[in-house]
Amino acid sequence: MAGHDHASDITISEAEARALALDFLIADGLGRAQAEAMAETLVKAQRDGCKSHGLQRLPGTRDTMAHPRFNRAADPQPEMVTPAMIRIDAGYGFSVLAAKRGLPLLIAQAQSLGIAVLAVQNGFHSTALWPVVEEIAEAGLAAMSMNPTHDWVAPAGGSKGILGTNPLAFAWPRADQPPYVFDFATTAAARADIALYRNEGRTLPEGWGLDRDGSPSTDPAAVLAGAMLPFGGHKGSALATMIELMAGPFIGDRTSAQSAAFDQGASAAPLHGELIIAFNPAVFGNTSGTDAAETVLNGIRDQGARLPGERRHAARAQSAQCGIALPRALHARILSLMPQTPSRLP
């Protein structure tokens, strides 16, 4: 939380962070609308202490934009296929602009119909899902979102990767507080964490993955070359399969295996679809129902269990007060990858 007090961190304002990201993306030729959407989302994550999905992703956008199919000029526009089903083709640009442009129509249709779907198609996806569901909840709606990734994950009882890390995000609107929001991968551990174990020469806890032969392994390098495992055994595996089907074939887009095949070694962000569902609790809900939701959420917190999102909100409050923390080395790396150093940065 207090990373910005470290000598290895610098502190910048939210506006400065956005300008840094925007300048970086535009310097590589990304269209302004795409660059603004991506900068906004990366800065939100950095601000909320989600460093893995923050400005650290900026250098990697170069690899994604270098993919032969990446479209820097993509200009996605939503299309209402039915009153409850909206599609937006990210056009081989980053998913984030497509999701952003689809949200107003999704929210409007869900408000009137009670439920609506937004399918983001053909997008390079490199951001967290929670900013999208949080934005929907801030409009008074509940929301779910999910996507496939690459086929790094074996099903429970299986031997090789066929599922993605398949995150599920959910948000529920609250009257006087930030929305209840969670966003988790359906794997036992994040791929980045396994890489960290490898880099630090540590062995993995049991149950995180399999080696290339499909045998359980605690060697991070073997698991990265083999397959990760879902969280929660057969139940988590079933959930990951549901996400694979719903955020892939249901929305007419790629499965995790198809996304991996598309990459062809480019090490770009995975190219696939994203399913976003918005729900209006006012259609069936009533005052008693709303109070009941608060009773559940306050009751969880009051017994000392952490509500997902609490760490993010604490980090957000600190960023608002003290500025956004950014590792000095990351800042230097970002600047070094840019043709010119914007003068307005520290």
User: Residue 37 or 251: which CB sits closer to its own copies?
Assistant: 251
Q: Does 157 bind its own copies (CB under 8 A)?
A: yes
Q: How many residues bind its own copies (CB under 8 A)?
A: 79
Instruction: Please compute, for residue 173, the number of CA atoms within 13 A of its CA located in the half-sphere on the CB side.
Output: 19
Tokens representing 4 are: 């910005």
Neighbours of 141 (CB within 10 A): 26
CA distance 275 to 77: 16
- Residue type at position 102: G
Q: Where are the alpha helices (DSSP H) in the chain?
A: 14-27, 32-47, 58-65, 95-113, 130-138, 191-199, 220-225, 233-246, 256-263, 287-302, 310-322, 328-336
In angstroms, give the least distance from the CB of 113 to its own copies.
Answer: 4
- Residue type at position 115: I
Q: Which of residues 254-273 bind its own copies (CB under 8 A)?
A: 254-255, 257-258
- Is position 253 annotated as part of the catalytic site? no
In angstroms, give the least distance from the CB of 129 to its own copies.
Answer: 13
- Is position 234 annotated as part of the catalytic site? no
Instruction: Please compute, for residue 95, the number of CA atoms within 13 A of its CA located in the half-sphere on the CB side.
Output: 30
Q: Does 216 bind its own copies (CB under 8 A)?
A: no
Say which of 63, 193, 219, 263 is annotated catalytic. 193
Q: Which of residues 59-88 bind its own copies (CB under 8 A)?
A: 81-85, 87
Q: Which of residues 168-187 bind its own copies (CB under 8 A)?
A: 168, 170, 172, 180, 182, 184, 186
**Contacting its own copies (CB under 8 A), which of 65, 277, 315, 326?**
277
- Residue type at position 225: A
User: Residue 129 or 326: which CB sits closer to its own copies?
Assistant: 129
DSSP states along 110-141: HHHHSEEEEEEEEEE--S-SHHHHHHHHHTT-
Q: Does 241 bind its own copies (CB under 8 A)?
A: yes
Tokens representing 111 are: 């408000």
In angstroms, give the least distance from the CB of 156 to its own copies.
Answer: 6
User: Residue 25 or 118: which CB sits closer to its own copies?
Assistant: 118
Q: Which residues pair with 119 in a beta bridge?
A: 87, 275
Scanning 6-14, 45-53, 288-296, 326-334 for contacts with its own copies by CB under 8 A, the matching segment is 288-296
- Is position 272 annotated as part of the catalytic site? no
Scanning 61-69, 152-160, 192-200, 314-322 for contacts with its own copies by CB under 8 A, the matching segment is 152-160
Q: Does 108 bind its own copies (CB under 8 A)?
A: no
Say which of 6, 8, 13, 52 is annotated catalytic. 52
Q: Where in the sequence numbering do the catalytic residues fall?
A: 52-53, 193
